[in-house]
Structure formats: C-alpha cells, structure tokens
Chain A
Amino acid sequence: DADVTQTPRNRITKTGKRIMLECSQTKGHDRMYWYRQDPGLGLRLIYYSFDVKDINKGEISDGYSVSRQAQAKFSLSLESAIPNQTALYFCATSAGLAGGYNEQFFGPGTRLTVL
C-alpha cells in the first residue's frame, strides 16, 4: 500500500464550487505539505503543517484553506474554485531534520480542473 494517498485522483468542477482534496499518510511523519504544480513553474507551496496544531501559509495560499484533522490527515479546500486553480496538486510528508534532512515523500497527485 502507498505511504501517502490522495483522494480524489481526478476532479472536474465548476467555478464557484467548494472542493476538498484529502491526503492521508502512514509514514508517521509530523510534517505535511500541499503543493500545486503548473507547467514551467515547478512546485509551489500552498500550506504546510509541522504538527497537528501548527499550520502555516506557503507562497500561494490565497483562495485555499487547510485542515489538519490528525497527524496522518491533511486536507486542502478551495472555498470557491476558479479556473486558474486548475492544476496538479500534491500532498507530501517529511520527518524534518532528524528524518533525513527533510526529505519529502509525495502522494500520487490530484488533477483538478475548474471549468
């Protein structure tokens, strides 16, 4: 079984709809991240969480919110989806410095299309 799972894997929605992307991990890591990937832009950090009570904005948090329901679960919400949020979204986890200098482990991605 995969260590980091994301649901759904693909989603098509309409402008203005609320969308939630979910991430679960079995690696026991405290740190979790949400990125979006756009062609030519690499990965950009949306939000990150270093433990259940610690949530931080990344470089492109506007229009997104997150919830860390448990150590193993980190969900990303788009409150009112817009077309320029069409992208590939990745969840990742890491153990921090002690666990390999913050090597990150990625889920398979969610392809989101906003019409």
Chain B
Amino acid sequence: AQSVTQLGSHVSVSEGALVLLRCNYSSSVPPYLFWYVQYPNQGLQLLLKYTSAATLVKGINGFEAEFKKSETSFHLTKPSAHMSDAAEYFCAVTLNTGGFKTIFGAGTRLFVKA
C-alpha cells in the first residue's frame, strides 16, 4: 500500500539555523510529491511540488526539496529559519492510479526559537 511517512512530529530549530523536515514515501508507480504548509488557524497552502521535471524543487519563502528516487525521499529544507516559518508542514503524494488520489503525511510542527 502506498504511504507517506514524516519523521518527527515536532522539530525545533533556532532562528537562522538550517531547517530539515523529512518525508519518505512508498509507491509502486512514479509519484507526484508536494509539501504544504499550515499556519495557525488557516488551511493548507502549497509550498512546492515535484512533478518529474527536476529533482531539486524550489518553493516559496526560501524552501526547497530534493526528490531522491533511490531513497524514496522528498525532504524539505531551508538554509536559515525565520520566526515566521513556525507552522505545521505536510508532505503529500499524488499517485497516478485510479484518479490521482492524494495521501498526506501526519505532519511535522516546526518551532523556531529566537
């Protein structure tokens, strides 16, 4: 069965430090991969997406993610955390089977310390 695993339900970094949020997926077919961000009291919004055009994907607010097929991973990074990055981040996989359904990971809450 296809699945999405986000390692770490909570991640805490200091302002200015590297942000690394991990996502691994399992899929028997080539996936489309997404990272969404949810700020407090808001819905999810797209941060970036991988659609097979390039393995390194740049998104909004300085985030990027790299698709590594051999590791079945799509980790999200940002070189320097900002206080405004504090939010919950969701990795998602859309599978090209039976109508392109999307599966979401459980989410990782990012805390940024001053």
Contact = CB atoms under 8 A, between A and B. Distances in A.
Interface of A: 4, 35, 40-45, 48, 50, 90, 92, 94, 96-97, 100-109
Interface size class of B (residues with CB under 8 A): 20 to 34
A29 B67 CA distance: 28
10 contacts: A41-B106, A45-B101, A92-B43, A94-B102, A97-B96, A97-B100, A102-B32, A102-B94, A106-B45, A108-B42
Interface of B: 9, 32, 34, 36, 41-46, 49, 51, 90, 94, 96, 99-102, 104-107
A98 to B, nearest CB: 10
Nearest to B6: A42
A53 B101 CA distance: 18
B51 A101 contact: yes
Nearest to A106: B43
